[in-house]
Amino acid sequence: MVKEFEGRTEKEAIDKAAEDLGLERDCFDVEIIETQRGGLFKKPYVKIRVHTTGVSGDYSAARQTKNSGAYNNVPASAVSREQDKEDVPVDAEFESTMIEYLNKLTGLMGMEGKTSVIFREKRKIGFNIATEDSSFIIGKKGKTLDAIQLIASIYAAQIGHGDIRVIIDSENYRIRREESLVRLAYNVAGRVRESRSSILLEPMNPFDRRLIHTTLNDANDVETKSEGQGLYKQVRVLYKGNKR
């Protein structure tokens, strides 16, 4: 399911989404569609698109569960990072089932892979696929890795763990990709300032686009906007001039 929300800030928009859907923050993916800084004649706002693919059950049912007391009434985005760092109980059966499934999946792809758990957080778990064929597992711009992650999320929901967000990585690709995108965002912003025009980036998945938007969100003289249709949209970085 996909829904859109607006707020004066990214946090406010995400809080609205969490409240409306009755879900914890880690149960949905957020894509920033558009941001606008405040000015003399306009109000600041952030528009987001929320993806709940892989969340088991209807969101209204989740809201009923929340209202019954099973969820903390504190907005998801207000939950402290310290809580996420607390020791998370190990679900050995779920983890071993997922590891077996991912090893089988990579085998069907014609590669020998060894899957292991790399982190556990509240409603989130990360798996790493170690293989000599990591470049094929990752794919161009991480698209194969994204596909494996989507399949793994669907399988997790089928075995009764749709409330857990599954992250798949290999050779620390996601960390390296994040660092690369942050550098790209700053470099493009510099080029936009020099040319006082706009630059359209390559198509990216929702997570990568959000990283670009968030990195440049505090810039006074540039704005970002998503363009296109489908999952892989493009981010345009625009020169807006100094607004103080």
Helix 143-158 crosses helix 92-108 at what angle (to 10 degrees)? 130
The residue range of the domain holding 136 is 87-171
pLDDT at res. 170: 94
pTM: 0.58
* Site of tokens 């690369």: 180
Do both 75 and 101 map to the same domain? no
**Number of domain units in the chain:** 3
Do both 215 and 178 map to the same domain? yes
Indicate the residue among 116, 136, 171 that finishes a domain: 171
> What single-letter DSSP state applies at residue 233?
B
pLDDT (tens, 9 = 90+) of the chain, 244 residues, equals 667 888 888 778 888 887 777 766 656 667 677 776 666 556 777 787 776 544 333 333 333 333 333 323 323 333 333 444 456 778 899 999 999 999 999 999 998 889 999 999 888 999 999 999 889 999 988 889 999 999 999 999 999 998 898 999 999 998 899 999 999 999 999 999 999 999 999 998 888 898 999 899 888 899 999 898 887 889 999 998 765 4
Indicate the residue among 41, 61, 79 that finishes a domain: 79
Residue 145 contacts residue 102 (beta carbons within 8 Å) = no
CATH number of residue 125's parent domain:
3.30.300.20
Residue 31 contacts residue 75 (beta carbons within 8 Å) = no
Do both 68 and 115 map to the same domain? no
Beta bridge partners of 227: 234
Do both 192 and 165 map to the same domain? no
Of 54, 229, 228, 78, nearest in space to 150 by CA: 54
Do both 156 and 228 map to the same domain? no
pLDDT at res. 48: 77
